[in-house]
């Protein structure tokens, strides 16, 4: 039964990566009440940007984040200002259409520039491993988890220790009230969108090292990320982290104990049970309509 | 008013479950009954996006190269050929729509097949309904041939479930002192991969090779590490994996991470992708990895030297970089050209009759089809050696001896 502890550890480490990817998605929902179904495509875009830097300038994928995260932050701000801010009325429904269109656009551009062949980010730590008890863990999972802790820690610090973070939390709590007390919610929304997209770049690097990917990889990815934030609670950063851990540990343990075929089923049984008891998810809150 | 949490959750889950598939586009084309000497259009649904997009691109290369050669010699029975591709996004729904549109709206003269058994099965139902011949390069799972369709022709040397037979024959041909005693299996639940693995398992078990692990996983799985852990923990002599390229690469990387080196390792697909495969796993980690194949670059088969020369001139790279998918697609064109010549017609009914009779020469070697469109030949065993895939079994096709045990990864 050594497979079970292995599956739990791998689930937690991989869950950290998914938490990183889902954190941007839930942050964007929390601030703007929009469902960014293009988030998976942004993760893949982040992976491709690091791939381009690796291929052309031989920059280590993790090191490339120094370039790609700021670039993706700017891209996120521009996307929010140009495509999301103009949405009025039923923002949740309209945002699905707009961000899906953005995802298709990103997929098309990536296919044009990089072809639709599968790619992977290569680095020494993707196959090098360290012994832990009677099995080995690849360094990439450890580095990825450390990156997740660092970035999520940074986001928590920003939210709870800075004036900007207070403005974000105020906007998440009640957009109208935040405006009334002087918060520039348009500016906060744009910057929060940028932070969410920048975190997608970080998630994309680890995803790109541990998985082969092509421009169409975002379809599977966004399905998983949306499920994670629904389980954790829409708009809850803490929920995204716990939701990712639950999903990855559940599916990995089910794969080794029962069968991989049952992995998704078991996870969705857990999801449905949670939603029956707590429709708002594990850490979601039910609040008065903010409109 | 309470915030409609359930509504939001439901809408998100619905979006998630739908999977968000993309659609291809269609355009104009020629009628199905072309006048003598007039140009014709051949329609193909290919996976330019989605899981099979790498293979889809290779099919396009093979089809395009055949069309170029065909037009250079005057066309298909005098008809200049134009290829029309529409993207199916690797979707079983979209591939049906695509062939319906190609036949009813674009009125293409002929259709060629898509990638994978998964897409070929629904596609062939449509093409058969309209009476079109359906030569196809990549749909050879058992279920392709059991639906009473007589217009489909699988243009590879052997049916898919027989792909690993050459591997099992090689394993069982080893001296008793070296012969593997145990095996571990893992496969996608895909009509291309699972039948191969199941047949190999049956043959090896019948010969006394003990099964230590057998796992089937969903084709849509994205996290293969726990599966690899199970294979590793079995510590079998031989590992047989029913993979496509992404999981084929992932398993090898997981084996490297765990420093696991089976005596023999074969994957149903992935290692057949030439430089695309070695680029991902690293050339030093390819040594000894095996894959079944119906074609290799230096084969002395009909038109192969010309195909390889033209392919590398047109698309670049070395002969060893050419994907087997491209050769299979090229073979489809070769078969149709010979059938049209034999029937002296490009009418679909005439082509169907011709293809059910006789033997056709292709870059994959000679092939003939039974009443269900199944080929009657055999594949051979290819092994990566010194950074290049080379045929190693059977002896008649081999240009090198198999490396056994497989060299350790990185050596």
The verdict on A214 touching B (C-beta cutoff 8 Å) is: yes
Instruction: Look at residue B202 and tell me whether its pLDDT is greater than 90.
Output: yes
Q: Which of A2, A3, A260 sits opposite B218 (nearest CB)?
A: A260
- CATH topology identical between B40-160+300-367 and B162-294+380-393: yes
Contact residues on chain A for B90, CB-CB shorter than 8 A: 216
Instruction: Look at residue B250 and tell me whether its pLDDT is greater than 90.
Output: yes
CB contact under 8 Å between B5 and A286, yes or no, is: yes
Once rounded to an integer, what is the mean pLDDT over residues B138-157?
A: 91
CB contact under 8 Å between A255 and B19, yes or no, is: no
Query: B35 pLDDT band (50/70/90 cuts)?
Result: low
**Rg (alpha carbons) of chain B, rounded to whole number:** 22
Instruction: Kindly report, residue by residue over A107-152, the tens digit of the pLDDT.
Output: 989 988 988 778 899 999 988 999 888 788 899 999 999 999 999 9
> Who's near A104: CB < 8 A, 6+ residues apart?
A41, B22
The interface predicted TM-score (ipTM) is: 0.81
Contact residues on chain A for B6, CB-CB shorter than 8 A: 279
CATH topology of domain B40-160+300-367: Rossmann fold (3.40.50)
Residue B170, classed as helix, strand or coil, is helix
Token pair for B92: 């079983």
Minimum CA–CA partner of A117 in chain B: B54
Residue-averaged pLDDT of chain B: 88
Give the whole-number percent of chain A exceeding pLDDT 90: 66
Minimum CA–CA partner of A105 in chain B: B22
Instruction: Kindly report, residue by residue over A161-211, the tens digit of the pLDDT.
Output: 999 999 999 988 888 899 898 899 999 999 999 999 999 999 999 999 998
- Most confident range (mean pLDDT) of A200-204, A276-280, B55-59 is A200-204
Q: Where are the domains of chain B?
A: 40-160+300-367, 162-294+380-393
Give the whole-number percent of chain B exceeding pLDDT 70: 91
The verdict on A215 touching B (C-beta cutoff 8 Å) is: yes
Contact residues on chain B for A290, CB-CB shorter than 8 A: 3
Within 10 A of A198 (CB to CB), how many other CB atoms are there?
25
Residue matched to tokens 């993707």:
A126
The verdict on A219 touching B (C-beta cutoff 8 Å) is: yes
Residue B289, classed as helix, strand or coil, is strand
Res B291: pLDDT: 95
Instruction: Look at residue B369 and tell me whether its pLDDT is greater than 90.
Output: yes
Q: Which of B121-125, B162-166, B224-228 has the lowest mean pLDDT?
A: B224-228
Q: Where are the domains of chain A?
A: 3-277
Q: How far is A120 from chain B (nearest CA, A)?
A: 6
Q: Which of A118, A219, A261 sits opposite B20 (nearest CB)?
A: A219
**Residue count (chain A):** 291
Once rounded to an integer, what is the mean pLDDT over residues B229-236?
A: 93
Residue-averaged pLDDT of chain A: 91
Once rounded to an integer, what is the mean pLDDT over residues B319-342?
A: 93
The verdict on A264 touching B (C-beta cutoff 8 Å) is: yes
The verdict on A163 touching B (C-beta cutoff 8 Å) is: no
Instruction: Kindly report, residue by residue over B283-315, the tens digit of the pLDDT.
Output: 999 999 999 988 888 888 889 999 999 999 999
CATH, domain range A3-277: 1.10.3470
Cβ proximity of B205 and B234 under 8 Å: no
Once rounded to an integer, what is the mean pLDDT over residues B355-383?
A: 91
**Residue count (chain B):** 411
Instruction: Kindly report, residue by residue over A248-259, the tens digit of the pLDDT.
Output: 999 999 998 998
In CATH, which of 3.20.20.70, 3.40.50.1370, 3.40.50.300, 3.40.50.2300 is domain B162-294+380-393? 3.40.50.2300
């Amino acid at each position: 039964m050594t497979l079970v502890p292995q599956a739990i550890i791998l689930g937690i480490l991989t869950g950290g990566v998914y938490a990183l990817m889902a954190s941007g998605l839930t942050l964007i929902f929390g601030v703007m009440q929009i469902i960014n179904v293009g988030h998976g495509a942004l993760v893949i875009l982040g992976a491709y940007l690091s791939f381009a830097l690796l291929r052309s300038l031989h920059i280590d994928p993790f090191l490339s984040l120094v370039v790609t995260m700021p670039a993706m932050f700017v891209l996120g701000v521009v996307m929010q200002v140009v495509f999301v801010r103009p949405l009025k009325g039923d923002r949740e429904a309209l945002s699905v259409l707009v961000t899906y269109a953005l995802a298709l656009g990103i997929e098309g551009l990536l296919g044009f520039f990089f072809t639709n062949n599968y790619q992977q980010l290569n680095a020494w730590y993707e196959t090098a491993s360290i012994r832990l008890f009677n099995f080995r863990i690849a360094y990439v999972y450890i580095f990825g988890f450390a990156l997740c802790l660092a970035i999520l820690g940074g986001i928590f610090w920003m939210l709870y220790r800075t004036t900007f973070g207070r403005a974000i939390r105020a906007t998440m709590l009640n957009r109208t009230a935040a405006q009334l007390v002087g918060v520039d919610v348009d500016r906060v929304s744009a910057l929060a969108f940028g932070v969410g997209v920048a975190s997608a770049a970080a998630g994309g690097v680890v995803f790109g090292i541990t998985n082969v990917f092509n421009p169409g990889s975002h379809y599977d990815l966004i399905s998983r990320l949306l499920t994670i934030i629904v389980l954790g609670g829409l708009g809850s950063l803490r929920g995204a982290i716990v939701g990712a851990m639950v999903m990855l540990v559940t599916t990995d343990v089910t794969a080794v104990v029962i069968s991989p075929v049952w992995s998704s089923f078991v996870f969705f049984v857990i999801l449905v049970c949670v939603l029956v008891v707590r429709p708002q998810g594990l850490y979601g809150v039910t609040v008065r309509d903010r409109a | 008013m309470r915030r409609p949490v359930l509504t939001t959750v439901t809408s998100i889950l619905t979006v998630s479950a739908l999977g968000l598939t993309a659609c291809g586009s269609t355009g104009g084309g020629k009628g199905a009954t072309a006048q003598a000497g007039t140009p014709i259009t051949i329609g193909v649904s290919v996976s330019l996006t989605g899981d099979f997009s790498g293979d889809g691109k290779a099919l396009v290369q093979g089809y395009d190269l055949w069309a170029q050669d065909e037009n250079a010699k005057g066309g298909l029975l005098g008809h200049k050929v134009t290829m029309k591709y529409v993207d199916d996004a690797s979707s079983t729904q979209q591939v049906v729509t695509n062939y319906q549109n190609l036949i009813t709206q674009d009125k293409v003269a002929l259709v060629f097949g898509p990638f994978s058994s998964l897409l070929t099965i629904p596609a062939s139902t449509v093409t058969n309904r309209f009476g079109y011949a359906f030569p196809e390069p990549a749909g050879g799972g058992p279920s392709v041939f059991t639906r009473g369709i007589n217009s489909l022709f699988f243009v590879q040397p052997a049916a898919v479930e027989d792909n690993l037979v050459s591997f099992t024959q090689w394993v069982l041909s080893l001296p008793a002192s070296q012969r593997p005693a145990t095996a571990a299996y893992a496969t996608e639940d895909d009509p291309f991969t699972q039948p191969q693995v199941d047949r190999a398992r049956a043959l090896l078990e019948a010969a006394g090779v003990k099964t230590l692990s057998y796992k089937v996983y969903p084709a849509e799985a994205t996290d293969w590490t726990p599966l690899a852990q199970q294979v590793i923990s079995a510590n079998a002599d031989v590992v047989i994996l029913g993979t496509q390229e992404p999981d084929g690469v992932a398993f090898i990387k997981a084996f490297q991470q765990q420093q696991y080196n089976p005596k023999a390792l074969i994957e149903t697909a992935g290692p057949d992708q030439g430089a695309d495969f070695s680029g991902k796993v690293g050339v030093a980690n390819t040594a000894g990895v095996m894959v079944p194949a119906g074609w290799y670059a230096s084969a002395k088969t009909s038109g192969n030297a010309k195909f390889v020369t033209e392919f590398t001139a047109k698309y670049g790279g070395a002969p060893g970089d050419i994907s087997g998918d491209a050769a299979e697609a090229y073979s489809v064109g070769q078969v149709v050209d010979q059938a049209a010549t034999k029937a002296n017609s490009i009418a679909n009914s005439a082509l169907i009759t011709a293809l059910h009779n006789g033997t056709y020469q292709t870059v994959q070697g000679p092939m003939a089809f039974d009443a269900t469109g199944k080929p009657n030949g055999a594949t051979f065993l290819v092994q990566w050696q010194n950074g290049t895939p080379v045929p190693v079994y059977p002896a008649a096709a081999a240009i090198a001896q198999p490396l056994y045990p497989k060299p350790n990864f990185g050596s």
